[in-house]
A and B are shown apart, each in its own frame.
Chain A
Amino acid sequence: MRAAISKAEIEFNVASRFGDAFRIQEKPVVETLSSGIKEVDDLTGGIPRGAISELHGPASSGRTSIMYSTLAYATRHDEVCAVIDINDVFAPSAAAAAGIDFNRLLWIRCGGSLENAFKAADMLLHAGGFGLVILDMADVAGKDARRIIPSWWYRFRRTVENRPTSIVVMSEEPCTRSCAALTLELKGAAEWSRASVEPSNVVPMRKPAKRPSVTQGNLLRFNSIKVNRQRPLSPWVNESQFRAFG
């Protein structure tokens, strides 16, 4: 008790010189942005704002689908979004089919330059006002991703802190290390609604009505999502790792 009073006295005496520097800052509850996929939202609580989230996994594991879904949800809710496309792989036709509103989407094609992509991300984050910034590094080789200087990630994390911007990094291997508030590791593959078609030399022309179960892109995905939270999203959440199958 005596120690507590002394501490209060000291704080009171130095308050005029140092303000409330000695007070413990309470961490505010983190707001989240929905990914647009109920299962993912149930698992993760949503994509945290003011923090970096990482989606990593091999090709065809569903990273781009989650990205499109999140973009569609965000743009339909008047968020201004940006996609930093390092290898120029963003497909507008598929994105439109996913429901993304292009009027609120800024697409930056970096022509394979990792350096330009990071500079572009830095500019966007400093400009402020973007609800979701996606850094698409999914086609960057693992050895290149590992060479990224960690200070970039710290810089990004620091920039978006206390701002309503979510950064989503898509990669093949984890690269943001401890800077990501949320890491989703995706494992899984797309499968057709029917396993395959019969071998046939007959080419279906324009009207695939005779084979309704197999249409182009009519794929189902069975994903295994591993969630890893580097930092607790909110004070009462203390889970570090769990696995779920969707």
Chain B
Amino acid sequence: MAEIPWLKDVDAALKQAKGTGKPVLLDFSAAPM
């Protein structure tokens, strides 16, 4: 399965969503890094 290209800038994600019409998936984690 391909790596998911997670964005780290939420405002950039929201801007991309607005531009593309795609929804945003926000993932919040506290898993060990």
Do these two chains really belong together in a complex? no
